[in-house]
Amino acid sequence: AAEKEALKDRIRRLLKEKEAVLVAHYYVDADLQDLAEETGGCVSDSLEMARFGRDHPAKTLVVAGVRFMGETAKILSPEKTILMPDLDATCSLDLGCPADEFAAFCDQHTDRTVVVYANTSAAVKARADWMVTSSIGLDIVEYLHKQGKKILWAPDRHLGSYIQKKTGADMLLWQGSCLVHDEFKGIELDLLRAQYPDAKVLVHPESPANVVEQADAVGSTTQLIDAARTMDATTFIVATDNGILHKMRAAAPGKHFIDAPTAGNSATCKSCAHCPWMAMNGLQNLADVLEKGNNEIHVDPEVGRQARRAIDRMLDFAA
């Protein structure tokens, strides 16, 4: 414990010394989330992380999350130094959508508006007309659908088919998935709900359809935390990375949160829904990266300029 406090003090001091700001996602270690808030950085969903990083005057941003979040920060602020505790922190959606295969897919369907999820590489975003996050994907596809556009969607098939069902848009889906959310099980969730009939179910839309169908609220991490705070219930079943529970409990004191089952009985499943790449962010490598200034994110400037158009469209739409 003393060692932990010493590391935290070192991070606080280094952030000041280097005039750096910490931008964290809700799935990273609770200590990192708390440090981000306490030191004037932010902890939020992907959309807010992008906006916060773009608007903050600091010259150095330390992004505690996964690689696409660091890349988005760099694309929006090429003049800033973007550091990450571990550059190998990737995402199964990003890995499952290689830029060359994606470009070939787009080439076969040039009549479609290309909408990609934030969880992709800069090169994939460079090929897109729009980038969206889970908080705003539904609204943007609805807007495009109303204009009569046909859509090519990548990479998350569950989020894509959820949006497709909600909007009725013509969407051709890339078949990617998130290895964390893909594990939530509809039948087991149904059984768990029978044990807690008054519980409300909060679901991230990267989850399979038979899980999303049982949700009382579907949304981004920030939207799910808001739902926990505002919904009139005392017990919630949560189908997303369990890193979120730290903020959920703080936002809704007195309420009770249960992990949605990934396999078998949730009671036996202590930490199954946790992203292995988000887990690569820790106090030690955060302190080290601040000290040494290594692990800098680079994005090819031309690729970055191309990708920025798709990201700016979303941010302008959201404004």
Q: Was 275 annotated as part of a binding site?
A: yes
Candidates 12-20, 131-139, 249-257, 261-269 — which segment interacts with ligand 13P by CB under 6 A? 131-139
The reply on whether position 206 binds ligand 13P by CB under 6 A is: yes
Q: 115: which strand partners?
A: 130, 153
Under 8 Å between Cβ of 275 and 51: no
Minimal distance in Å, beta carbon 79 to ligand 13P? Answer: 25
**Which tokens hold the place of 15?**
């952030």
Cis upstream peptide for 155 (omega within 30°):
yes
- Which residue in 77, 92, 113, 221 binds ligand 13P (CB under 6 A)? 221
Minimal distance in Å, beta carbon 316 to ligand SF4? Answer: 24
**Which tokens hold the place of 24?**
């964290």
Q: Was 134 annotated as part of a binding site?
A: yes
Q: 62: which strand partners?
A: 22, 83
Q: To 5 degrees, how large is the angle CA 207–CA 116–CA 260?
A: 10
Nearer to ligand SF4, 52 or 277 (CB): 277
The reply on whether position 262 binds ligand 13P by CB under 6 A is: no
Total number of residues that touch ligand 13P (CB under 6 A): 11
Q: To 5 degrees, how large is the angle CA 222–CA 30–CA 41?
A: 65
Q: Was 204 annotated as part of a binding site?
A: yes
Minimal distance in Å, beta carbon 110 to ligand 13P? Answer: 29
Nearest residue to 93 (alpha-carbon basis) of 204, 239, 189, 170: 204
Under 8 Å between Cβ of 179 and 205: no
For residue 148, CA distances in Å to 115, 153, 159, 218, 250 come to 14, 15, 21, 26, 43
- Which residue in 22, 32, 46, 155 binds ligand 13P (CB under 6 A)? 46
Q: What's the CA gap between 223 and 277, in Å, rounded?
A: 22
Nearer to ligand 13P, 94 or 188 (CB): 94
Q: 307: which strand partners?
A: none
The contact set with ligand SF4 (CB under 6 A) reads 66, 91-93, 119, 178-181, 206, 241, 275, 277-278
Under 8 Å between Cβ of 174 and 94: no
- Which residue in 45, 71, 188, 259 binds ligand 13P (CB under 6 A)? 45
Q: What's the CA gap between 16 and 75, in Å, rounded?
A: 24
Q: Was 25 annotated as part of a binding site?
A: yes
Minimal distance in Å, beta carbon 7 to ligand 13P? Answer: 26
Give the DSSP H/E element, type plus range, for residue 114.
strand 113-117
Minimal distance in Å, beta carbon 204 to ligand 13P? Answer: 6
Helices (H), 168-300: 186-195, 209-212, 221-230, 245-251, 283-292
Minimal distance in Å, beta carbon 275 to ligand SF4? Answer: 3
Nearer to ligand SF4, 188 or 206 (CB): 206
Minimal distance in Å, beta carbon 133 to ligand SF4? Answer: 11
Nearer to ligand 13P, 125 or 204 (CB): 204
Binding residues: 25, 46, 91, 117-119, 134, 178, 204-206, 221, 275
Tell me which residues touch ligand 13P (CB under 6 A). Answer: 45-46, 119, 133-135, 178, 204, 206, 220-221
* Residues annotated in a binding site for [4Fe-4S] cluster: 91, 178, 275
What are the binding residues for iminosuccinate?
A: 25, 46, 117-119, 134, 204-206, 221
